[in-house]
Structure 1
């Protein structure tokens, strides 16, 4: 196949799991150019049928149907089943995007990586905030930030209760922090408690990095309001980032001195839906065979 042909190849995609996340994956795949949504699968056939009807695709009754129908699949099942389902699909020869968190423990995450490498498949984890316009807007101005304050709060819903709030919500911010600081974590101090479930529902962590950066991160799924914010401080300025509004504000020293003057700049954030950009990147990787 020529490079030009490979770049234009239509990718056939299926969605495994048709809860809230899976339904949104199906919606976006239907919107992407060069993609065919070939079907959805769920252990609840009625839920699968509802999503299939909404997005005009097939209900798949067995995972074994996928190899002859699809090139790639999104895995949006409960977290406890990510490794089992993801490994099965990779072994069948499909490229896989698995929703975050990748797995419930390190050994299961390693199993997914091993299955992808052994079978020569693309494996992507759905860290959707990487594609948030606010995150994209601040990337060019990162200048060794040294202090972070992060809050991710949500109203309680009966969703993702198979894992604690760290895997459910805080994991987004940990992923972004590791990318922004790009240094080893040397110390973690954390506390969390269960409130409405048997797992940790609210948690706070303090991370210290090798270069001196410090991050305070709070996550809660038992809040009365929805908050998705990060503030970070670097030399002569601080940046306020709102994931929910998808915007960022830069506040910096405009005129130094005993009584410095400050300037405010709203950063230019691209008008894109994060999930759309994430799945577009996955499809592009599947098409080009580049991770």
Structure 2
């Protein structure tokens, strides 16, 4: 790509997710080489409103977009999950790089076909697991040693958004992707249960995943909760880390290995301790992290990949792995329903 060429982007789908992509791309025009070029949406009202707000042409279909010959470089795919693969494959075959909102696709076959087309056309596929760009996750990766236990909770109030998928593909998949990146091990076994509450699909689920490394992860996700919770805790030798995604905070509690050895041999620390430490020899830190909008960081990463032709932070293969685990969990939930006679 020529250095003076602006990266021309289209947003496919201008609903809840697409509106944010449109907004951030327009904001990034002031600091990067991106140019928000077009929008596609099947709804006449939605695409007309987006076209007026951003002064860009709007189209009803991807076919119309491609026929307009706008010299596009890439696109964000923000349509419902069932359309992810069809839309992305059209764009890839036309020579565009794509960022596909999570989950990657409705089936593994669709995701694998999409990756095959991307490889055939030497195109970039990035999956929109934007929690990977949360400053708390970035800080956790910097402090990672040998995580052995994870506890993830993602609870949300009920909304009619994303009812085309269940809670595993809607909410839990964020934490599945993050834990897969942190555990760095293949999944050995999955145990899961979940039930529908207000929709026809699973609205609350609890999952236990065991990895070949010996690590274990528990996941709870609900979209029928009375509170909003987005937290992940993990334990590794001599350290506990607690992430709050909403607050973009990371709390760490570390213990001196020498003290751990002494305690295992019967030593008990004194009762009087500094106010900010749980006990002598324990180091509690709340990291001072710069706040940032994960979507902005995600789109900046996508644009950098387009320019450099390097893999993005969340390539298609990572999205495929998260999707595979999510679908495996759903199969376990279905099997549990059958055993329980639900």
- TM-score bin (small chain): over 0.9
Aligned-partner Cα distance in 2 for 1:182–1:74: 28
Q: TM-score, normalised by structure 2?
A: 0.81
2:50 is the counterpart of 1:30: no
For 2:193, the equivalent position in structure 1 comes to 191
Shift of 1:122: 1.1
2:277 is the counterpart of 1:276: no
SS class of match (2:57): coil
Q: Can you list the C-alpha shifts for 1:168-210, whole angstroms capped at 9, x where unaligned?
A: 0111101000110101110110111111111111001101111
Aligned-partner Cα distance in 1 for 2:60–2:232: 43
For 2:40, the equivalent position in structure 1 comes to 41
For 2:12, the equivalent position in structure 1 comes to 16
Aligned-partner Cα distance in 2 for 1:150–1:52: 40
**1:248-259 alignment, distance < 5 Å:** 248-253=250-255, 256=259, 257=263, 258-259=268-269
2:137 is the counterpart of 1:135: yes
**1:80-95 alignment, distance < 5 Å:** 80-95=82-97
SS class of match (2:310): coil
Q: Can you list the C-alpha shifts for 1:111-140, whole angstroms capped at 9, x where unaligned?
A: 110111112211111110110111001111
Larger CA deviation: 156-165 vs 265-274: 265-274
2:122 is the counterpart of 1:120: yes
Q: Can you list the C-alpha shifts for 1:13-61, whole angstroms capped at 9, x where unaligned?
A: 0000011100000011111121100111100021122223223322224
Q: TM-score, normalised by structure 1?
A: 0.94
Aligned-partner Cα distance in 2 for 1:223–1:111: 36
Aligned-partner Cα distance in 2 for 1:90–1:104: 18
Q: What's the RMSD between the two structures over aligned residues?
A: 1.5
Q: Is the 8 A contact 1:30 1:36 kept in 2?
A: yes
Q: Can you list the C-alpha shifts for 1:77-115, whole angstroms capped at 9, x where unaligned?
A: 000110111111111111111100001111011111011
Q: Is the 8 A contact 1:137 1:268 kept in 2?
A: no
Larger CA deviation: 258-267 vs 175-184: 258-267
SS class of match (1:222): coil
Gaps of 5+ in 1: none
SS class of match (1:155): coil
Gaps of 5+ in 2: 270-278, 312-342
2:226 is the counterpart of 1:230: no
* Larger Rg, first or second structure (1 or 2): 2
SS class of match (2:58): coil
Q: Can you list the C-alpha shifts for 1:54-82, whole angstroms capped at 9, x where unaligned?
A: 23322224423444222110000000110
Q: Can you list the C-alpha shifts for 1:143-183, whole angstroms capped at 9, x where unaligned?
A: 10111111001111011111111100111101000110101
From 266, 275, 288, give the equivalent of 2:286. Answer: 266
Answer 1 or 2: which has greater strand percent: 1
Structure 1: which 4+ aligned runs deviate by more than 4 Å?
none
Larger CA deviation: 269-278 vs 194-203: 269-278
Larger CA deviation: 198-207 vs 248-257: 248-257
